[in-house]
């Protein structure tokens, strides 16, 4: 992905962090693109969820992210869903899933097939199981990683605690 596309994704995250466009746009990213996202500046909390359409717990928690995102000021909390679906199934599975489930949060699809190139960059303790969520605010040096599914109350609680930090 070139620099202009990364800028485009970051611009979308900054301007529309909790609301998407009616026609879901998916950015395709590699390990180095994810690293730029994780280096996000700005004094806001970034919530990056790693999921896949074939993961039952992931699918179950997505509506919680959608609902919770709507409750926060986009200038304070920004959401990104990183799909770990197989690149060969982006068109046939991922895009129809997003449309059917009315997912409007920004979505990035990981095209990097070697997870070892990027999993440790998200969190050194992460073994690659999904769902997983990284919460961070680099300006305030706030970082929390959660392996496993979150319900709506857990998600709100983590966000509330971290934006007060």
Is it the case that residue 83 has pLDDT exceeding 70? yes
What is the pLDDT, as a whole number, of residue 4? 47
User: Hey, CA dihedral for 145, 123, 32, 163, is it positive or negative?
Assistant: positive
Mean pLDDT of 22-38: 86
What is the pLDDT, as a whole number, of residue 19? 39
Is it the case that residue 156 has pLDDT exceeding 60? yes
**All domains of the chain, ordered by start, with CATH?**
3-164 (3.40.30.10)
Q: Give the residue with greater pLDDT, 6 vs 101.
A: 101
What is the pLDDT, as a whole number, of residue 9? 55
Is it the case that residue 82 has pLDDT exceeding 80? yes
What is the pLDDT, as a whole number, of residue 24? 72
Mean pLDDT of 3-32: 59
Angstrom distance (rounded) from CA 145 to CA 122: 8
pLDDT tens for 43-80 read: 999 999 999 999 999 999 999 999 999 999 999 999 99
For residue 32, cis peptide bond before it (omega within 30 degrees of 0): no
Residue 42 confidence class, pLDDT cut points 50, 70, 90: confident
Q: Which residues pair with 18 in a beta bridge?
A: none
Q: Which positions are annotated as active-site residues?
A: 55, 58
Q: Indicate the burial class of 144 (C-beta count within 10 angstroms; 0-12, 13-18, 19 or more).
A: middle
What is the pLDDT, as a whole number, of residue 40? 86
């Amino acid at each position: 992905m070139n620099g202009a596309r990364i800028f485009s994704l970051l611009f979308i995250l900054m301007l529309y962090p909790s609301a998407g466009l009616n026609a879901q746009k998916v950015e395709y990213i590699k390990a180095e693109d994810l690293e730029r996202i994780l280096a996000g500046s700005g004094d806001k909390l970034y919530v990056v969820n790693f999921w896949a359409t074939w993961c039952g717990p992931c699918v179950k928690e997505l509506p919680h992210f959608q609902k919770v995102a709507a409750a926060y000021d986009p200038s304070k909390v920004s959401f990104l869903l990183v799909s770990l679906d197989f690149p060969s199934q982006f068109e046939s599975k991922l895009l129809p899933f997003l449309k059917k489930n009315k997912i409007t949060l920004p979505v990035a699809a990981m095209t990097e097939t070697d997870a070892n190139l990027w999993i440790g960059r998200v969190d050194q303790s992460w073994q690659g199981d999904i769902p997983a969520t990284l919460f961070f605010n680099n300006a305030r040096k706030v970082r929390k990683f959660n392996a496993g599914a979150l319900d709506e109350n857990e998600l709100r609680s983590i966000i509330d605690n971290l934006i007060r930090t």
